[in-house]
């Protein structure tokens, strides 16, 4: 009679180790890709608080950007009519879809696979997002440009970026971003979120803000508005007079824009060399290029990243200015149009707005609107 083959105990342990290996392999599939900002919010209390601050209605359609494994999505589906989740990572899109299969929430979840910055967004009432930090700025302005505008956006950002969004005149982080965002929306800080509330933990602290787009939107030309802000915030601690009249490249650009505006509106331009070339004015202007607020360190004067600096600023260097001063270089003779534009800029800054001696970091939204309107009235444009 043949012997009965009994399963050895070590076979059982081998089976357990195989199962553990498979589990480990499954987990490794969902290793977070921090290169695209994958830091999953793991604290259910924070997730619940974020959704609570959104003040969702049962009829709301919610846009969620970067749902990850669906921790925020679950809280949203409890409150809203529908959740549209935009996910870049196919693994995460599959995971969040699988999580709500065979549940009452399945029909109320719509997962869109793709890059939110390249995706045409469907209609939504509220946006809730644990935002990948790499797209914080472009996403903010894409949401503000959405039509019809959402009722509100509850967004998680890197803390420093969030502080820049709602910084006020005089604050250290007040910048072009602050003015631009606050022109189109009312922005409030909701809560701080520590690193340990994420998996894996990011290297920076986070903050949640509420952004409520203004309705109706301000009736201004965005290119003109942003063009003005780019000039004044390249050196936000310089006086506005120095930012304009004291910067040769700016005056050259404004002269070109003025000529274009005159041509488009059939306004004759008297060209030719100006009668007087004031050498002292040139030296004064070039000296103003070096102006900084005495209370701010030099390395804090530059407000924007290099990519945000207009091309015409990159052509000017301190070495060139210092060499011109050292050699006593005189001002080249300006044409009549250049002198006319210079006088128009002076009138705007000193006579019409009285903002010539004010610094950009101390100006508010109304100051910049007043400045833009006065420039446009004299045919000076920035787009």
- Which run of H or E residues covers position 128? strand 126-130
pLDDT score, position 196 = 92
Residue 196 counted as domain residue: yes
Distance CA(374)–CA(376), nearest Å, equals 5
The answer on whether 223 is annotated among ligand-binding residues is: no
88 and 200 both lie in a single domain: yes
pLDDT score, position 65 = 94
Q: Who contacts 213 (Cβ-Cβ below 8 Å, separation ≥6)? A: 143, 144, 149, 150, 153, 184, 185
- Last-in-domain residue among 213, 241, 256: 213
Q: Who contacts 121 (Cβ-Cβ below 8 Å, separation ≥6)? A: 63, 86, 142, 146
Asked if 288 and 246 count as a contact pair (C-beta separation under 8 A), the reply is: yes
Report pTM: 0.76
The answer on whether 115 is annotated among ligand-binding residues is: yes
The answer on whether 121 is annotated among ligand-binding residues is: no
Domain span including residue 361: 221-269+333-382
Asked if 143 and 212 count as a contact pair (C-beta separation under 8 A), the reply is: no
The answer on whether 39 is annotated among ligand-binding residues is: yes
235 and 166 both lie in a single domain: no
53 and 151 both lie in a single domain: yes
185 and 225 both lie in a single domain: no
CATH number of the domain within which 103 lies: 3.40.50.150
pLDDT tens for the chain, 383 residues: list them.
Answer: 555 555 544 444 444 355 444 434 444 445 666 555 567 888 999 999 999 999 999 999 999 999 988 999 999 999 999 999 999 999 999 999 999 999 999 999 999 999 999 999 999 999 999 988 889 999 999 999 999 999 999 999 999 999 999 999 999 999 999 999 999 999 999 999 999 998 888 889 999 999 999 989 898 998 999 999 999 999 899 999 999 999 999 999 999 999 999 999 998 888 778 665 444 444 444 444 444 444 444 333 344 443 444 444 444 444 544 444 444 444 455 788 999 999 999 999 999 999 999 999 999 999 999 999 999 999 999 98
CATH number of the domain within which 374 lies: 1.10.8.480
Number of domains present in the structure of the chain: 2
The answer on whether 41 is annotated among ligand-binding residues is: yes
């Amino acid at each position: 009679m043949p012997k009965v083959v009994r399963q050895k105990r070590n076979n059982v342990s081998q089976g357990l180790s195989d199962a553990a290996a498979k589990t480990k392999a499954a987990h490794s599939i969902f290793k977070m890709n921090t290169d695209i900002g994958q830091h999953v919010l793991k604290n259910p209390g924070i997730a619940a608080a974020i959704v609570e601050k959104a003040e969702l209605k049962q009829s709301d359609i919610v846009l969620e950007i970067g749902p990850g494994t669906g921790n925020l999505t679950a809280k949203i589906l409890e409150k809203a009519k529908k959740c549209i989740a935009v996910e870049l990572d196919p693994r995460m899109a599959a995971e969040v879809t699988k999580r709500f299969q065979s549940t009452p929430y399945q029909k109320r979840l719509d997962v869109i696979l793709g890059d939110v910055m390249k995706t045409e967004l469907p209609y939504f009432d509220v946006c809730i997002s644990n935002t990948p930090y790499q797209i914080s700025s472009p996403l903010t302005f894409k949401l503000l440009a959405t039509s019809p505008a959402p009722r509100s956006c509850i967004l998680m950002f890197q803390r420093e970026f969030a502080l820049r969004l709602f910084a006020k005149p005089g604050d250290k982080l007040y910048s072009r971003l602050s003015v631009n965002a606050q022109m189109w929306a009312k922005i409030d800080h909701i809560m701080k979120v520590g690193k340990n509330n994420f998996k894996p933990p990011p290297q920076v602290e986070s903050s949640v803000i509420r952004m409520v787009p203004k309705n109706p939107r301000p009736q201004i030309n965005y290119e003109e508005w942003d063009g003005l802000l780019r000039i004044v915030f390249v050196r936000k601690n310089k006086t506005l007079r120095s930012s304009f009249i004291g910067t040769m490249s700016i005056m050259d650009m404004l002269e070109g824009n003025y000529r274009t505006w005159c041509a488009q509106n059939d306004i004759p331009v008297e060209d030719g060399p100006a009668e007087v070339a004031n050498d002292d004015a040139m030296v004064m202007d070039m000296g103003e290029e070096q102006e900084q607020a005495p209370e701010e360190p030099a390395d804090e004067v530059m407000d924007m990243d290099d990519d945000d600096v207009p091309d015409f600023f990159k052509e000017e260097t301190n070495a060139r200015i210092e060499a011109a001063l050292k050699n006593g270089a005189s001002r080249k003779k300006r044409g009549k149009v250049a002198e006319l534009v210079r006088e128009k800029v002076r009138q705007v800054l000193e006579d019409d707005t009285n903002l010539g001696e004010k610094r950009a970091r101390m100006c508010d939204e109304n100051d910049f609107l007043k400045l833009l309107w006065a420039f446009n009235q004299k045919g000076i444009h920035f787009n």
